[in-house]
Structure 1
Amino acid sequence: MTQDDLAAALGIEQGAVSLIENARSNPTILMLDAIAAALEVHMADLFDEKARSHRTEESVRRSTRRTTS
C-alpha cells in the first residue's frame, strides 16, 4: 500500500502519512486504530518490529498480485 493509498483510506493528506511514518508527527489513538484497520493488522502490530516487517512483506506480495493480475 502506498502512502497515497493509505492517505485516501484515512481521509488525510499524503504528507500527513509521511510525517507519521517518519516519526515527525504523533497520531492520535483513533488515527492509529484507523491506520491499523486500513492495513488490516492489529494496532499492537504497529509497535512490533517483527510484525511490521512481516506486514511489509505481505503488503508487497498483495500489491504485486494486484498489479500483475
Structure 2
Amino acid sequence: MMFLKAAGIGGSIMAILALVIYLLKTIISLIAFLTGALKILVVLVFIAVIVGIGFMVLKGWNEARRNRD
C-alpha cells in the first residue's frame, strides 16, 4: 500500500519539489564555478598587465642606455 501513497498527489508534489531543489543546487554550483573562473581570469589578466608594463619599462630603459652611449 505504500507505493500507492507515493503515486498520489502528495508524492507528485514531493517529486517536483525534489527536482526543483536539485535544479537550484545545480544552478548555484554553476554560478560558483563561473565566479571562480572569472576570478582566475581577472588575476591572470592583472599578472599579464604587470608583466607587460615591466617589459616595456625594461625595454625603454635599455634603449635609453643604448642611446646614451
TM-score normalised according to structure 2 size: 0.31
Q: Which has the higher contact order (CA 8 A, sep 6+)?
A: 1
